[in-house]
Structure 1
Amino acid sequence: MKGCVLGIDGGGTKTVCILMDKSGLVIGRGEAGPSNYQTVGLEAAGNSIRDAIAQAAAPLGEVSLEAICVGLAGVGRSQDVQAVRGLVQQLLSSSELPVKPSLQPPSVEINHQELSADNLLHSQLSILHSSRVIVCNDSAIALVGGVGKPVGVVIIAGTGAIAFGQNHQGQTKRASGWGYLLGDEGSGYHIAIRGLRAVVRSYDGRLGPTILTERITQHLNLNSIEDLVEVIYRRGWGVKQIAALSPIVDEAAAAGDLIANNIINEAVEELVLAARVVSQALFKPEEAFEVVTMGGVWRGLANLRGRFATSLAEIVPSATVIWARHEPAYGAALLALQALSPG
């Protein structure tokens, strides 16, 4: 059987699995449904992880698994890590998967400093040494995949938003990521809900005119702004549906709308603030590092990303803003591979 490692990226929309050989070559990839166990439950999360692994390994026949890293949204506390670790062990013991855990014990000790297991146990990462199972939050694997190593800062802005970083000493810092009710400033939801609120305030006369009114009316095919009540409440719109309207705000800002511009500027300020807090907590002023942007907001709102890069450069000049080099699941596979190597 061919020896390999697995990297899992699980979120609220889908689960991605990367199968990598010990030379670092990707030999399989699979996708399945959501695996944020906080929202879909442990059983459904397990089913998605199993299906993604099976799809990735299907063309290869039976392979020997030597390490696995599972990065899931919703994993932040020690009890989350334990729950997911138990789930992973159960999946790996199943006869249904073509991936079989190596029966031999680890031949090397995991490098604690490089993987920062001790520091990340209580924040983002935890390692079960005996079977080389790594369980972490999805922001940790996004950093490794985006930058290509576990050093730097990742700013994820999609439906939600979070900033996470790690330095050469293994220290970590997180900001934002508290969910749409408590935070996630700068996220797609935050931008879109501000846009919708501006439209209804303008309709009432509590705010000046904005072209957002016309753009939202056309996009949702409304007869009147009052029809928003039907769309948002009675049709049961959730966070994702609302967040999908954020590009409309960005387009209105680019067209010169003052109110939309203010919303985008506020989002930029919040994302820069999160990046600054994380960066200054981990890196010295003269220490160069990379800040990787990941998530749909960065891809869909070009106006916002340009402002972010310019603003961050003014207050953290040692930071270089980059696009992701690899997807988060690739970062998870790298962490699993790293667990096999000393030093």
Structure 2
Amino acid sequence: MTYIIGIDGGGTKTTCLFLECGGTTYPKHPLMVNGPGTNPHVVGFEEAGRRLEHLLRHGMQTFSLTPRDISGAGMGLAGVGRPDEVEQMTGIVQTLFFNLKFSENLNLFITSDVHAALKGSLPPGIDEGMLLISGTGSNAVGITAAGKLVKCGGWGHLMGDEGSGYQLSLKALSKVAKAADGREASTQLTSLILQTCGLERPEQLIRYMYERPFEKKEIAAFAPCVIKASEQGDQTAVNLLKEAAEELVLHIGSLVKQGVDPKAPVSVAGSIFTHSHVLRNHVGRLLEDRQFGSLTDPYAPPEYGAALLGKPAGMDKER
């Protein structure tokens, strides 16, 4: 039995799957190991390579695999989307494959984590689809019937990330300020955000927010307050999530304009979709109203998609 390696490398965690070559569906009992993040823009390209090598050694030891058992590898890595990044990472991975004594003819496919996530989201037999992501940031990716990969978003928090946890949090903080001034109605967001910050009055937020720089993920940490308030029926929070849904569905419209069948299935991913039924339900309604494809759960995780992308030629390889 031979295996294909599938890796989903994020900023904080990396998952490695060893997929049997003969399988046509996601296994009930996948052979997986986890390690630290491998985004090269966070940890550096060389360190990302070292972490990948350590994870592969650990996985092969765990499942008693030898280099001869590996016939291909696909890697979906955060921070590796542009051609120069792929080229640099490919050189590093080829070196670690040499260290692991893998065959020099081993098939290797390196791409972005979003591409791998899209591939994993599609059920067997479906080649065209879209993936909409709302977590700390937001973006969307699709693949056409001809195999062309198209994207929307990914401009970062200064220029984009509409419908993301980051943008939801910024808008929630603005709503708290407006409510405190009497410019808008009171909202449960005020008490929830103050509680999160350990503060008593809205005015204290000024010093709290400006006394030091906040990272993107720290700002996005206020998004659960929006979700919780919406679950309690707070109309301000509900409206913020509906606005986010509108922004996110614009991403789908862009993918359709770039050639994806409007009726292709749309999968969603990211922490905001995971935890907010208000956002998910409104996105579903908007897709239906605009006659786009129906909202579906991803078929399998990104590491499975990475493994499929790493299939050697002659083994139903799909890119």
Determine helix, strand or coil for the equivalent of 2:22: coil
Distance 2:48 2:191 in 1: 41
Letter in 2 for 1:172: L
Matches within 5 A, 1:39-188: 39-61=42-64, 62-64=66-68, 65-94=70-99, 97=100, 100-103=101-104, 105=105, 131-148=106-123, 150-188=127-165
Distance 1:333 1:245 in 2: 35
Q: CA deviation at 1:289?
A: 2.0
Q: CA deviation at 1:11?
A: 1.4
CA pair 194-182 structure 1, distance change in 2 beyond 3 A: same
Determine helix, strand or coil for the equivalent of 1:282: coil
CA pair 340-332 structure 1, distance change in 2 beyond 3 A: farther
Runs of 4+ in 1 over 6 A off after TM superposition: none
> Given that residues 128 and 261 in structure 2 are in contact (C-alpha distance below 8 angstroms), is that contact kept between their aligned partners in structure 1?
no
TM-score (norm 1): 0.83
Q: CA deviation at 1:241?
A: 2.5
- Post-superposition CA distance 1:164-186 (Å, at most 9, x none): 00011112221111111111111
Distance 1:338 1:162 in 2: 29
Q: CA deviation at 1:91?
A: 1.4
> Given that residues 7 and 336 in structure 1 are in contact (C-alpha distance below 8 angstroms), is that contact kept between their aligned partners in structure 2?
yes
Q: Which has the higher contact order (CA 8 A, sep 6+)?
A: 2
Determine helix, strand or coil for the equivalent of 2:310: helix
Distance 1:250 1:43 in 2: 39
Q: Does 1:260 align with 2:210?
A: no
Matches within 5 A, 1:298-337: 298-317=273-292, 319-337=293-311
CA pair 89-338 structure 1, distance change in 2 beyond 3 A: closer
Distance 1:338 1:295 in 2: 30
Match of 2:8 in 1: 9
Match of 2:180 in 1: 203
- Post-superposition CA distance 1:116-144 (Å, at most 9, x none): xxxxxxxxxxxxxxx42111111111111
Q: CA deviation at 1:342?
A: 5.3
Match of 2:259 in 1: 282
Q: CA deviation at 1:53?
A: 2.0
Letter in 1 for 2:300: H
Q: CA deviation at 1:281?
A: 2.7
Determine helix, strand or coil for the equivalent of 1:263: helix
Distance 2:17 2:209 in 1: 37
> Given that residues 166 and 217 in structure 2 are in contact (C-alpha distance below 8 angstroms), is that contact kept between their aligned partners in structure 1?
yes
- Does 174-183 or 141-150 show the bigger shift? 141-150
> Given that residues 276 and 316 in structure 1 are in contact (C-alpha distance below 8 angstroms), is that contact kept between their aligned partners in structure 2?
no
Q: CA deviation at 1:292?
A: 0.7
Determine helix, strand or coil for the equivalent of 2:74: strand
Q: CA deviation at 1:43?
A: 2.2
Distance 1:204 1:52 in 2: 53
Letter in 1 for 2:15: V
> Given that residues 242 and 278 in structure 2 are in contact (C-alpha distance below 8 angstroms), is that contact kept between their aligned partners in structure 1?
no
Letter in 2 for 1:84: M
Match of 2:315 in 1: 341
> Given that residues 67 and 340 in structure 1 are in contact (C-alpha distance below 8 angstroms), is that contact kept between their aligned partners in structure 2?
no
Unaligned runs of 5+ in 2: none
Which residue, 217, 220, 241 being the options, matches 1:240?
217
Q: CA deviation at 1:235?
A: 6.1
Q: Share of identical aligned residues, percent?
A: 33
Distance 1:341 1:23 in 2: 8
CA pair 207-338 structure 1, distance change in 2 beyond 3 A: farther
Determine helix, strand or coil for the equivalent of 1:101: coil
- Does 233-242 or 46-55 show the bigger shift? 233-242
CA pair 261-76 structure 1, distance change in 2 beyond 3 A: same
Letter in 1 for 2:31: G
CA pair 51-231 structure 1, distance change in 2 beyond 3 A: farther
